[in-house]
Structure 1
């Protein structure tokens, strides 16, 4: 069960991230006007209706194709009665954080697409929140009917929390002030169990939870008001990671001679979307970069070694 649950958690996360990036390029990079919204006259509204219709059709096709591909690749055995599986103790909960961040990024990408299709920021945020939840929910339901897995309440809560964070910020502040982000570094632990944590560099970033760090990147200037002298692009980020987990369970890792522990981080970051530019291509690059936490000096605290300072952490 351990191997199966690892494949499920990391693969869902990786495929969802790639799907979000693919959807972004499909709906923006391949559309001449990208995210920019033309508000010159009401004569353009039929065009917006066409965009929204095409967007919903495109999302439905991608959605159906993704579910079909997942069902063919993962669920080899016939589906059984619906059941639950409690995996909340696995991987020191970092996989749940990954679910939350992935669902948030799907909502963020979707919101840009809905704005391109003519919706207001508020409506786009609402639609995007629903999209983030809808894209993830059927995967959990299929898991519930699968004999190998089971419906994870913890995963489902994380899948809702991510889009909820996105939508709530627009409903409250009309902008994004707190952004979940991701960073990764390679660890030697993957060599201990390559089948579980990844054999090659291109799959370790998905499977080796020890190298993953998830962040909440906060923009102080947006809370300080218009008169602040703080750079608008400067963020403060708090992060969470784990180490010495070579098994889904702490006990399993300890049996192999490791002592798992949690890691907490405090660092600086950049909100690229607050850097002003008129070039649409650069806006697209900044939008994508905002998925990642930028390398920066970082203070770490963990239960084994106490405080540590990293000159440059990623």
Structure 2
């Protein structure tokens, strides 16, 4: 997955990971409202006893079409200009302080969630929809890993594959055990602006200048969350069902995939901020499960379900660089 030059590596790796996340966002905000309708809300604990063969056929062909179309689009965008090679692997575990791997977990989890709800809409057997829909996230991203494996510029990443499997397995295990997602994976992101203009210039170069690009590509701006509602494990609790406790992970100081040093194609150093520490951040914060907010409006239910992948902005306790500090708002 890594080209020879460090600078180009940082740009390409960031763009590719961001593209996968962008696909997840499209699934969440476009696919759920149109295809799944509101089955996720009215049949969460009561699956339909009726099978709809026409819906099964429709979803089967639609899934094949979407998977084939997005894979072809990714091939045109990333692979066609690079030579093909024999299948090979590459170890990219040490890139971006593993934040890209956490992104793979979230991507697979989110795609699995959407697809399972789509299969619920068809009325197929519970276990079938869980396994077919639930493992679709890992299956789709494995196709991308295979394309990596045959590209001379990249390679099959076992770390990416493991993260993909973990994301889908997290979803499937909860559906099989509880018939719901008691442990939810979410994300938050914001544009980073630095007082040092050289860092802003570097960020513009590798992450993009406009807000949408920066929100998609800059791992310094991402925080990934695990949100749990205490009431889901303690049903007799007087706590509201929508209240969640969230554990987050983020990272700072990253201006390259592996280090804060970049070289041009001739090996000349063009950026060196090795003085900046690359470090992880851990957060503890409250959150809101938007799907537990009661409403009789179908459109609002769909909107809340779609937005639930985003962590609600809130105060948080941060642990980083060996010390704790209170942050009044983390997003």
The verdict on a shared fold, with TM-score over 0.5 as the criterion, is yes
Q: Alignment partner of 1:188: what SS? A: coil
Q: Which residue of 2 aligns with 1:134?
A: 139
Distance 1:41 1:244 in 2: 50
- Superposition map of 1:121-200 within 5 A: 121-188=126-193, 191-193=200-202, 194-200=204-210
1:140-289 to 2 correspondences below 5 Å = 140-188=145-193, 191-193=200-202, 194-225=204-235, 227-250=236-259, 252=261, 255-256=272-273, 257-289=275-307
Q: Which stretches in structure 1 are left out of the alignment for 5+ residues?
A: none
Structure 1 distance, partners of 2:309, 2:125, is: 23
Aligned pair count reads: 309
Equivalent in the alignment of 2:328: 311
SS of match in other structure, 1:30: helix
d(CA) in 2 for partners of 1:123 and 1:265? 36
SS in 1 for 2:39: coil
- 2:311 maps to what in 1? 293
2:34 maps to: 30
Offset of residue 210 of structure 1: 0.5
Where relative contact order (Cα < 8 A, 6+ residues apart) is larger, the structure is 2
Deviations 1:214-253 (A, max 9, x none): 000111111112x210110000000000101111114638
Distance 1:272 1:85 in 2: 39
* TM-score, L = length of structure 1: 0.90
Cα distance, 1:228–1:121 mapped onto 2, change above 3 Å: farther
Offset at residue 185 of structure 1 (A) = 1.7
Q: TM-score, normalised by structure 2?
A: 0.86
Gap regions ≥5 residues in structure 2: 263-270
Shift of 1:128: 1.7
TM-superposition CA deviations, 1:106-140 (whole Å, max 9, x none): 01111111111113554322222221111101110
